[in-house]
Amino acid sequence: MKYASEDRQVPAATPAAGPVTSASAQVTAQDEAHGTRNRVARSILDHGPSTAAELALRLELTQAAVRRHLDALVAEGVVEPREKRVYGTRSRGRPAKAFALTDCGRDAFDQAYDSLASDALRWIAQAAGGGERGEAAVAEFARARLEAQAAEYRSAVEAASPEERTAALAKALTADGYAATARSAPHLQQGEQLCQHHCPVAHVAEQFPQLCEAETEVFSRLLGTHVQRLATIAHGDGVCTTFVPKATAQGAPKAQGPPRAAKATGKADHRITKTTTASASTAGRNPA
């Protein structure tokens, strides 16, 4: 792998005196190559589908260097080659390939999805008249959104035995990007904890806790028992944690709450409520 300075069509600077180990030189080369590769991808984002020649001219690199970076980006699924569109009379020979960002490549760059979602929910609240009516409208939207997701989870949960349903839900959530796990609560006889280590809508849920509340309600229906939200990423906790009480032999959930279930999340125990029932007043907020 060449240094990025070797890719440029300008004379390379004289290296500073002093010993350089092969390991440190290799790390430096990899860092510089990664930085140059990001510049190539960013240039395609800013200017649209581009040929290797266009990128080389734009970034002041050799075409050979650009092609190496493009090959790596194609292998990573960040860009894809396309036949360059020609306007007017096409010249002889094979048309040059233009490289465009894939959906995966676009997702690697910062996008204003959170801002867009917040603006949309804010508009829903205002269009409904604001105040309590606005909050109710946002809650209705959140429930409809979660019900659509629940349809995908329901078959997986219903196919599992009662003892494995929390784990089945965690697996379905993980497939949807929530990095979820199911584990025993600190007091095993009382139930389990459903832990979501990632939340794709955490920044939006900070402003609209109805998203968390609707999610908790859906969990309750899917698992066939009342559940209690102990912690949420949206409110500063490291993990979204939901307590799922263990069912009795008759199938009804045990009444007692988890005395110290929140300890496993690494957050304060003092926020646990006295009931295992998920409600609109606690599901999306840290319990008081």
State whether residue 251 is helix, strand or coil: coil
Domain spans in the chain, listed from the N-terminal domain onward = 4-107, 113-271
pLDDT at 8: 45
Does the 4-107 domain belong in CATH 1.10.10.60?
no
Element (H, E) at 240: strand 240-245
Residue 9 sits at the vertex; the CA angle it makes with 5 and 10, to the nearest 5 degrees, is 70
Instruction: Give burial (CB, 10 Å; 0-12/13-18/19+) of 83.
Output: exposed
pLDDT at 110: 62
Distance CA(244)–CA(190), nearest Å, equals 8
pLDDT at 49: 87
pLDDT at 96: 78
Other beta carbons within 10 angstroms of residue 102's beta carbon come to 15
Domain 113-271: CATH architecture, name and number where available = Alpha-Beta Complex (3.90)
Tell me phi and psi for residue 195, to 5 degrees.
-115, 125
Residue 274 tokens read as 């006295």
**Neighbouring-strand partners of residue 97:** 83
Residue whose C-alpha is closest to residue 228's, from 146, 165, 166, 283: 283
Q: Could you report the average pLDDT of every consecutive run of 10 residues in the chain (288 residues)?
A: 41 48 57 82 87 94 95 93 66 76 79 85 96 96 92 92 94 91 81 92 93 96 94 89 73 44 39 37 42
pLDDT at 146: 92
HEC letters along 116-145? HHHHHHHHHHHHCCCHHHHHHHHHHHHHHH
pLDDT at 253: 45
pLDDT at 192: 93
Do you know the residue count of the chain? 288
